[in-house]
Amino acid sequence: MRKKITLLISTIVIVNLFGINITIEDPHSGYSSERVVHIKGNISENAITQAFVNVNGLIMTTKVSSGNFDLPVVLAPGNNFIEVIAKYNSETAKNSINLFSKVPKKDLKVVLVWDTDNTDLDLWVTDPNEEACGYSHRETKISGNLDVDVTTGYGPETFTLGNAIPGSYKIHIHYYSSHGNEQSKANVYVIMFEGSSKERRQKFETILTKSGDRYEVGSFEIKPDWLNK
Residue type, 61: T
**What's the confidence (pLDDT) of residue 6?**
39
Cα gap 36→38, rounded to integer Å: 7
Global pTM reads 0.89
The structural domains of the chain, ordered by start, are 13-101 (2.60.40.10), 108-228 (2.60.40)
Q: Which string of b and e fits 121-145 if b means at least 16 CB within 10 Å?
A: bbbbbbbeeeeebbeeeeebeebbb
**What's the confidence (pLDDT) of residue 175?**
92
The ranges of the chain with pLDDT < 70 are 1-18, 229
108, 90, 101: which is closest to 198 by C-alpha? 108
71, 33, 34, 28: which is closest to 50 by C-alpha? 71
**What's the confidence (pLDDT) of residue 50?**
97
22, 194, 32: which is closest to 98 by C-alpha? 32
Residue 84's Cβ-side half-sphere holds a number of Cα atoms within 13 Å equal to 32
Residue 147 near residue 111, CB atoms below 8 Å: no
pLDDT in tens, 32-64: 999 999 999 999 999 999 999 999 999 999 999
